[in-house]
Chains A and B, each alone.
Chain A
């Protein structure tokens, strides 16, 4: 059933193909995992595309495919773009990692940029990501300050390093305020299903959490939190309209500057393989205004943000113990990027067993 649904979705995505025209301008193509109307992850990537289009004007032509399922369908979609004259293809979800590298091998003249992955098997594949965990740490600090129950609910998507990293950063932030703080994790096993995300939020609230944070893409959990009168954090975009009295802050992904820079590089021929992992410092991760919290909490949140932004503080600084109590980082030791990008363990204080 699921398979069928996915392939239908892929067919639907192929039908909503963007425009194609002459070859004169550089063509930048984008593949999204969700619909551009998800008001979350894919929406923000599309905002980045629009920003890039505006900045580069006639020099660039764009096309995009939305709701492309991860896996075999993604490979077809990427290959189709590569064949149709795209000069650079941005594949914007973790699950596109292997398909992107596979297609890149067949089309050495086309540049590929894969978001959130770590494989660069060919010289024409670059990877880029944002240090969202920096924002999650700040959220953890706020959650621990505000939660009366001492427990936050975390709606997670898939057990991949990116998501595990976020959960850990959130917990570490919370524990910096309240060492006994607990996080309940629910895996939705989807990036995007408003109904399921809402159900997950309800389940968490029924079990006593009084703050919700999410790593799925729709605004549904925010709405549920509003209905039940608790606080929540937005995801990917500023979701304040869905929870004027609910949203504490949101991690806003700003991809525009990166897309402008990379497409420009293709135009002037200076494009090179690279692995960029920008954070608050580079302006890739922006916090939405801190709202619905007392001034002292806001001040602490701002101070934490400033420390991370200036580079004087890294959320993954020891001493940090793993979930089973064994030591991961010694006092003062900072986690290496490589370890973070392959993170497959929880830190102490997560009330969940990590699906393997």
Chain B
């Protein structure tokens, strides 16, 4: 039973983690894309639809990633090339995604989907108590952990990551040094879109294998909040996502046990706990300032 609970927590945390890690890269490059929810829901409908028509959940995942990327490309074109307001454009992207996915997905409502099969390694998965937790989860769970590690390495251990962060901190200086600010930001935005699409596919192919309109139910916004509270650091995002997942699942168990605490309070616990803990770990103001991309959300028009 304990293992089941841990797996449930991982399932709740994974989509948040994937979307938030993608957004970390976007925001580290100095771009604020509030359209995560929209890209995510587009990924969900695409993943479901492609998996259903082709019979392959993996094709669904790939399609969701591509659609997430295309959707973010639209955002990139508007904010980076046409220099529109990033906040407004991000919100518009969310609205567009929610509406468009509802329209595209109309025919999928009420159809049971295909669930991506869980990993199964003979012997290892059958180890009691921990086998399924470490070796028997859905494939995207492992992808999400690798993704976090990869992004952490990229941002803080690689030269390309340093370049990306320098753009996020001061795009004018980076430009003066001859770095292609807009080009790199495009790549970052597309990476964020791909992650959001993948997170959406996780919802419609693993979490709840079906298409229901609006099924992201605000998870894109939670991912966005996690990024800020985790002060733009990938491993902290992971900690935040799992904490959020753990408290969400924990409060449901507390209710089922009948602990007698008002359910409204219990329901708000995940939000409270995540905020409190992440505020505590980032209470060093100077470190937080160092981590905040200084050019975040500021438009950049290169002077020729």
List residues of chain A with CB under 8 Å of any chain B CB: 1-2, 4-5, 8-9, 11-12, 15-16, 34-39, 43, 66-67, 153, 159, 184-190, 192-200, 202-204, 206-207, 209, 218-220, 223, 227, 237, 241-242, 351-353, 355-356
Which single member of A1, A9, A199, A241 contacts B8 (CB below 8 Å)?
Answer: A199
Q: Are A219 and B210 in contact (CB under 8 A)?
A: yes
Bound together, the chains give a CA A147 to CA B16 distance in angstroms of 36
Best-buried of A185, A186, A219 by chain B (most CB within 10 Å) = A186
Which of chain A's residues have a CB closer than 8 A to the CB of B203?
194-195
- In the complex, the answer to whether A219 meets B212 with C-beta atoms within 8 Å is yes
Contacts of B102 in A (CB 8 A): 16, 35, 37
Q: By the criterion CB–CB under 8 Å, are A186 and B98 in contact?
A: no
Within 8 A of A (CB), among B51-108: 91, 94-95, 98-99, 102, 105-106
A–B complex contacts, Cβ < 8 Å, 17 sampled = A9-B98, A11-B95, A34-B213, A38-B212, A39-B110, A159-B263, A187-B263, A194-B210, A194-B212, A195-B203, A203-B5, A207-B256, A219-B210, A227-B115, A352-B255, A352-B258, A355-B264
CB-based nearest B residue for A185: B255
Alpha-carbon separation in the docked complex, A37 to B106 (Å): 7
In contact, B212 and A355 (Cβ under 8 angstroms): no
Q: List residues of chain A with CB within 8 A of the CB of B255.
A: 185-187, 203, 352
**With the chains together, A135 CA to B1 CA distance in Å?**
32
* B4 closest partner in A (C-beta): A206
Bound-state CA distance A159–B215 (Å) is: 23
Interface residues on B, range: 35 or more
Would you give the 0/1 interface string for B244-261, flagging 1 where the beta carbon is closer than 8 Å to chain A?
000011001101111010
User: B225 an interface residue at 8 Å Cβ cutoff?
Assistant: yes
- Is B183 part of the binding interface, using a Cβ–Cβ cutoff of 8 Å? no
Where the two chains meet, the residues of B that have a C-beta atom closer than 8 Å to any C-beta of A are 1, 4-5, 8, 11-12, 15, 37, 91, 94-95, 98-99, 102, 105-106, 109-112, 115, 203, 207-215, 217-219, 221-222, 225, 248-249, 252-253, 255-258, 260, 262-264, 266-267, 271
The chain B residue with its CB closest to the CB of A352 is B258
* Distance between B240 CB and nearest chain A CB, rounded to angstroms: 14
Complex CA gap A237/B110 in Å reads 10
B256 partner, pick from A186, A189, A198, beta carbons under 8 A = A186
A198-B252 contact, Cβ under 8 Å, with A11-B95, A39-B109, A352-B258: no
Q: Which residues of chain A are within 8 angstroms of B225 by Cβ–Cβ distance?
A: 1
Instruction: Tell me the complex Cα distance, A16–B252, Å.
Output: 34
Known contacts A37-B213, A186-B255: A223-B208 contact under CB 8 Å = yes
- Evaluate contact between A1 and B271: CB separation under 8 angstroms: yes
Q: B208's contact among A2, A38, A198, A209, by CB below 8 Å, is which?
A: A198
For A204, the chain B residues whose CB sits under 8 A away are 252, 256
* Of A66, A188, A206, A207, most B-chain CB atoms within 10 Å: A206
- What's the Cα separation between A351 and B256 when bound, in Å? 8
Pick from B217, B253, B264: contact of A196, CB below 8 A. B217
A197 to B212, CA, bound (A): 13
